Amino acid sequence: MSDNLGTTAPHVSVEPVSVMAPDGTVLDQDFVDTIPEADLVALYEAMLAQRVYDDRMIKMQRQGRLGFYLACTGEEACSYGPAYALQAQDWFYPAYREPGIALWRGMPFQAWIDNMVGNCDDPVKGRQMPVHWTARAQNIVSISSPVGTQIPQCVGSAYAAKLRGDDAVSICFFGEGTSSEGDFHVGLNFAGVWKAPAIFFCRNNGYAISTPYEKTTAAKHIALRAHGYGIRGVVVDGNDILAVIKVVREAAEWGRAGHGATLIEAKTYRIAAHSTSDDPTSYRTREEEAHWGERCPLKRLRAYLETKGLWDEAREQACITASSERVISALGVAEGKPHPDLDTVFDDVFAERPAHLQAQYSELKAHLASGQSAYKPK
């Protein structure tokens, strides 16, 4: 366990953890040295590629080829950092702004794109909106639109791992607005009482869609709430991917050692709109956006890599070009696939289809075979 975790008594630290300053200056060289340079380059390439994917998906939605999209622009460190920090046996419960978890941990890129289109190879079989994916092979549980439902689910799997003696932690992701939901209290209270090895990762980007933080929470920091549940709490600079890796590693060590849960509050900023249904110019100022733009997680890591001679403009453009070609190619494949088979509507709820569903299935098949234009259930 890291030395700076100290006592086994839970504590709350609200001084934001940082490893790199916004200009790329290293503040904690000892920690930087724990990450191979090749990994630092790979993390930057992945975050840069994510920017390209987000831009392409938004354009697709504007063209009417996707129904919906949520970009993670400005918050990339909050998904790629934890994905890098945790281990293969750990479980992830994402919200809808963490595609980096799936892509870094090995979800096939085509499967991720298939979900955006909702075709026959969509991992959730077209039953959810775009950006609501799952990756079972990577221990990533399906995203759900109702905010907060993943928090008690995460605690449940963490506690199950503890009962089984598995060396696994569970991590869930949510925004600061979600911390006002009842599921937040339920999950953290259970984790505190039973010392579940759970990590609660709150992306505090300042807005619950368009509602500013100060209108949803009176406390200066979400992490302060950890004290009331008897768990660790820590604030981290969410635009510093190395700091994110550091605090998630420490939270995992804490949980694996049997000490319980950690609430991480990542101070970050959503550069893009909340979604393709949102217009942030109605509630944010250009000055605010410019301020956070200078603290962009990509700018920070790139500045450091350039000082080490590990990155330059030629590599930047090559990565952008390759990422653009990759996403365009995958979209072309996805759009060429048929919709999910109608039979799948009746699958995946019961191990064996019960009589009432079998009757509905037979009725629907008979109707389709009749060639009538509209289905009117009895």
Given the residues 270, 284, 295, 300, select the one marked as catalytic: 270
274 is catalytic: yes
What's the DSSP call for residue 374?
S
CA 223 and chain centroid, separation: 19
Report the alpha-carbon angle 24-26-29, nearest 5.
Answer: 150
DSSP alpha helix (H) spans, 8-143: 29-32, 37-62, 77-85, 99-105, 109-117
Residue 295: pLDDT over 80 = yes
Would strands 262-267 and 198-204 be described as parallel, antiparallel, or unpaired?
parallel
Q: Each residue of 43-93: pLDDT tens digit?
A: 999 999 999 999 999 999 999 999 999 999 999 999 999 999 999 999 999
Given the residues 274, 295, 300, 302, select the one marked as catalytic: 274
What's the DSSP call for residue 370?
H
270 is catalytic: yes
At which residue do the structure tokens 């420490």 appear?
A: 250
| Helix axes 313-335 and 37-62, enclosed angle (nearest 10) | 50
CA 72 and chain centroid, separation: 9
Residue 124 burial by Cβ neighbours in a 10 Å radius (0-12, 13-18, 19+): middle
User: Using 50, 70 and 90 to split pLDDT, how confident is the model at 1?
Assistant: very low
pLDDT score at 371:
82
User: Using 50, 70 and 90 to split pLDDT, how confident is the model at 10?
Assistant: confident
Burial 258-271 (b: 16+ CB within 10 A, else e): ebbbbbbbbbbbbb
Q: Give the total residue count for the chain.
A: 378
132 is catalytic: no
* Nearest alpha carbon to residue 200 among 212, 216, 189, 210: 189
- Residue 172 pairs with which residues in a beta bridge? 93, 200
Q: What is the percent of the chain with per-residue pLDDT over 90, rounded to a whole number?
A: 89
At which residue do the structure tokens 């959503």 appear?
A: 270
User: Using 50, 70 and 90 to split pLDDT, how confident is the model at 9?
Assistant: confident
Domain boundaries, the chain: 3-335, 342-378
Q: Determine the residue type at 84.
A: Y
Q: Return the biggest CA–CA distance within the chain.
A: 72
Q: Determine the CATH number of domain 3-335.
A: 3.40.50.970
pTM over 0.85: yes
Average pLDDT, the chain: 94
Helices and strands, number each (H, E), in the chain: 13, 8
Given the residues 283, 315, 361, 367, select the one marked as catalytic: 283
**Other CB atoms within 10 A of residue 37 CB:** 13
**Other CB atoms within 10 A of residue 196 CB:** 26
Q: Give the pair of three-digit tokens for residue 256.
A: 């694996």
Q: Each residue of 120-178: pLDDT tens digit?
A: 999 999 988 899 999 999 999 999 989 999 999 999 999 999 999 999 999 999 999 99
Residue 11 and residue 308: Cα distance in Å, rounded? 36
